[in-house]
Structure 1
């Protein structure tokens, strides 16, 4: 698997983990951590511009759900 493919798979895994944690009612800090990890991997792989909007939407939804 190419490095870019590996990064994309890791990003997807972190996003899905965050989504699942949110649905399961896990602590908002853990959900946020998953999304931020996805963004960190994207940054390292040079994919931040493509991933940041996805993460921002999820974080905004998380903030609404947790009353922030």
Structure 2
């Protein structure tokens, strides 16, 4: 697996982890942590521009749920 594919898989895994945590009612801090880790991994891999909109939507949804 190429390094880019590995980074994409890690980012996807972190996003799905955050989504699952949200659905399971895990503490919002843990959900946010998963999403922020996905964004950090995307930044490291040079994929931030592609991933940031996805993370921003998820964080906005998380914020709306916790108000």
TM-score, structure 2 as length reference: 0.96
* 1:23-53 deviation digits (Å, cap 9, x = unpaired): 0000000000000000000000000000000
After superposing on structure 2, the runs of 4+ consecutive aligned residues of structure 1 that deviate more than 2 Å are 65-68
Q: CA RMSD in A?
A: 0.9
Count of aligned pairs: 67
Unaligned runs of 5+ residues in structure 1 are none
TM-score, structure 1 as length reference: 0.94
Unaligned runs of 5+ residues in structure 2 are none
- 2:14·2:37 contact (CA, 8 Å) conserved in 1? yes
Distance 1:66 1:23 in 2: 11
Distance 1:10 1:16 in 2: 10
